[in-house]
């Protein structure tokens, strides 16, 4: 298996311990649901960001974000970096450019992260040799991509839709309809987010997919997954009249893998009648695969998805 020799550390963000300090923010506040149980996946923390003027007399759109422990506070993360998304979204709100919104940061499943974020149905369409190729993929010569876990993204999405969303809608004053429910993430988080809007088009009205990890694993040559996922999208992309989808990528470190595949996805989006009103695909020359890059440009998808 031939892999491109680039830094992949930001792809498998780790939870070193469930007992983590609450993330601090410059704007608004974070409320935590600690060790939320699920019948579909393992327990995990959920960090909900509320704007400064949050109150129970007003209803809010909801943005569900993958890798929730990386969203706000760099002092609590494994690499001391974060998106700082609270600052970005507060600025747009103060400028009256976006809807009132809360952010639901879903912590990843640590070693189960890749198995939970890897789209299951396109994988199921592979033949046995292709499945074996994907399952045996490694990050390096010794570390398995899936850490011995079976792909479980269908159950992960059931957790979000059937368990987490009802809790959020009950505990907070939310707008529960599709037009006000969004999902997003970066890297594998971007991949599971486009999968989510395809699997649950009546639930999610928009998807933010930054530095989408189209390869699924770390190899390009002989990798059957990108074409399998594009075939899946050809059959499952939601109605462009009712949904918004954002893609982007850079061209440094791990992002160097993405532009050729993104071009194929963009061609498919055009063929499905997506236009600038409901689809945006951006290329950022010189940007890499890191929280710093995503933070520097996250206001673009926020404005695109949440604009009034």
- Fold of the domain spanning 22-306: Rossmann fold (3.40.50)
Predicted confidence at residue 93, as pLDDT, reads 94
* Residue-range domain boundaries for the chain: 22-306
pLDDT tens sequence for the chain (308 residues): 434 444 444 444 444 344 688 888 888 999 999 999 999 999 999 999 999 999 989 999 999 999 998 888 767 777 778 788 999 999 999 999 999 999 999 999 999 999 999 999 999 999 999 999 999 999 877 789 999 999 999 999 999 999 999 999 999 999 999 999 999 999 999 999 999 999 999 999 999 999 999 999 998 999 999 999 999 999 999 999 999 999 999 999 999 999 999 999 999 999 999 999 999 999 999 999 999 999 999 999 999 999 98
**Largest distance between two CA atoms of the chain:** 56
Distance of alpha carbon 105 from alpha carbon 252, whole angstroms: 26
Predicted confidence at residue 17, as pLDDT, reads 40
Query: Which sign does the torsion angle of CA 189, 84, 70, 158 carry?
Result: negative
Distance of alpha carbon 227 from alpha carbon 125, whole angstroms: 11
Predicted confidence at residue 79, as pLDDT, reads 77
Distance of alpha carbon 258 from alpha carbon 254, whole angstroms: 8
Task: Mention every residue, 6+ apart, whose C-beta is less than 8 A from residue 95.
Answer: none
Predicted confidence at residue 19, as pLDDT, reads 66
Distance of alpha carbon 235 from alpha carbon 248, whole angstroms: 22
Predicted confidence at residue 40, as pLDDT, reads 98
DSSP code at position 299? H
Predicted confidence at residue 74, as pLDDT, reads 66
- Coil, strand, or helix at residue 280? strand
Per DSSP, which regions of the chain are E strands? 29-36, 44-50, 61-65, 101-106, 181-186, 206-210, 244-249, 279-283
Alpha carbon distance, N-terminus to C-terminus of the chain: 47
- Buried (b) or exposed (e) across 125-151, using 16+ Cβ within 10 A? ebeeebbebbbebebeeeeebbeebeb
């Amino acid at each position: 298996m031939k892999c491109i020799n680039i830094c992949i550390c930001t792809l498998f963000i780790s939870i070193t311990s469930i007992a983590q300090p609450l993330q601090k923010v410059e704007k608004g506040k974070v409320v935590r649901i600690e060790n939320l149980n699920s019948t579909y996946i393992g327990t995990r923390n959920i960090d909900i960001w509320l704007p400064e003027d949050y109150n129970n007399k007003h209803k809010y759109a909801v943005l569900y974000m993958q890798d929730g422990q990386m969203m706000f506070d760099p002092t609590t993360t494994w690499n001391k970096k974060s998106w700082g998304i609270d600052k970005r979204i507060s600025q747009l709100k103060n400028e009256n450019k976006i809807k009132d919104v809360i952010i639901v940061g879903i912590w990843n499943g640590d070693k189960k992260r890749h198995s939970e974020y890897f789209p299951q149905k396109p994988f199921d369409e592979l033949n046995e040799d292709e499945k074996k190729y994907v399952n045996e993929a490694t990050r390096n010569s010794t570390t398995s991509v899936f850490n011995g876990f079976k792909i479980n993204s269908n159950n992960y999405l059931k957790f979000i839709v059937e368990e987490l969303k009802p809790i959020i809608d009950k505990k907070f004053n939310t707008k529960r309809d599709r037009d006000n429910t969004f999902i997003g993430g970066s890297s594998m988080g971007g991949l599971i987010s486009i999968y989510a809007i395809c699997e649950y088009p009546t639930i999610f009205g928009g998807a933010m997919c930054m530095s989408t990890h189209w390869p699924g694993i770390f190899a390009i040559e002989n990798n059957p997954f990108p074409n399998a996922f594009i075939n899946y999208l050809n059959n499952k992309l939601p109605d462009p009249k009712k949904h918004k989808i954002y893609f982007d990528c850079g061209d440094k470190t791990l992002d160097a893998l993405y532009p050729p595949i993104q071009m194929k996805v963009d061609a498919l989006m055009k063929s499905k009648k997506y236009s600038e009103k409901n689809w945006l695909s951006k290329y950022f020359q010189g940007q890499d695969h890191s929280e710093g890059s995503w933070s520097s440009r996250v206001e673009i998808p926020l404005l695109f998805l949440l604009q009034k």
